[in-house]
Amino acid sequence: MRGFALADAPKLVDTIAQLVREAPFRHMTTPGGFRMSVAMTNCGSTGWVTDRTGYRYDACDPTTGTRWPAMPAVLSQLAARAAAQGGFADFRPDACLINRYEPGARLSLHQDKDERDRDAPVVSVSLGLPAVFVFGGARREDRTRPVPLAHGDVVVWGGESRLWYHGVRPLKEGEHPVLGRQRINLTFRKALS
């Protein structure tokens, strides 16, 4: 949904800045011991984390031991409106993962399988520098296609595509008028059933 979040973008950017003061971006470690090039934080009643012990959802920020900030209404309502337009009524996300890409940061091909509710869609909101998202299929070997994502674009991933492989190509150098040298992606999920 190209530009679906454009009208909300100034308020989203402001809200993210506040959230990040409470729970700063950090580069998490994968179970294999690699530092992720994407910096992450969360808001909502639970948040996605990774460390040497594995991937999981946790109510608390591991760096402080306190709960993630609550999900502001401007975020949850945008996600619900987008999901509804994409054919998923009553989407009530409990987790919002906030990804920050600086030039060079990438996300290798993966599936999102850590959520218990596989019937709920994932809603993603892109802000800042444009990126090339790659969308594959049910198997890692499946052909991927590039999908450009720009500031204000929203994607609703549900049904069959919910478990398809996807990733993000290394972010190209650039300067966004609002966000500068970064891309921020919000992914809304229903993690716990």
Strand bridging mode 39-44 / 107-110: unpaired
What is the DSSP secondary-structure string of 104-172?
A: T--EEEE-----S-SSS-EEEEEEES-EEEEE--SSTTS--EEEEE-TT-EEEE-GGGGG--EEEPPPP
* 25 lies in the binding site for ligand MD3 (CB under 6 A): no
* 161 lies in the binding site for ligand MD3 (CB under 6 A): yes
Q: Decide which of ligand MD3, Fe ion, none touches 122; Cβ closer than 5 to 8 Å per partner kind.
A: ligand MD3
Contact predicate 68/60, CB 8 Å: yes
One-letter amino acid identity for 16? I
Of residues 15 and 65, the one with the C-beta less far from ligand MD3: 15
- Residues of span 77-116 touching ligand MD3 by CB under 6 A: 97, 99, 107, 112
| Total residues in contact with Fe ion, by rule CB under 5 A | 1
CB of 65 to Fe ion, least distance (A): 26
- Residues of span 87-116 touching Fe ion by CB under 5 A: 112
Q: How far apart are CA 82 and CA 125, in angstroms?
A: 10
Site string (166-185) toward ligand MD3, x via CB under 6 A: x-x----------------x
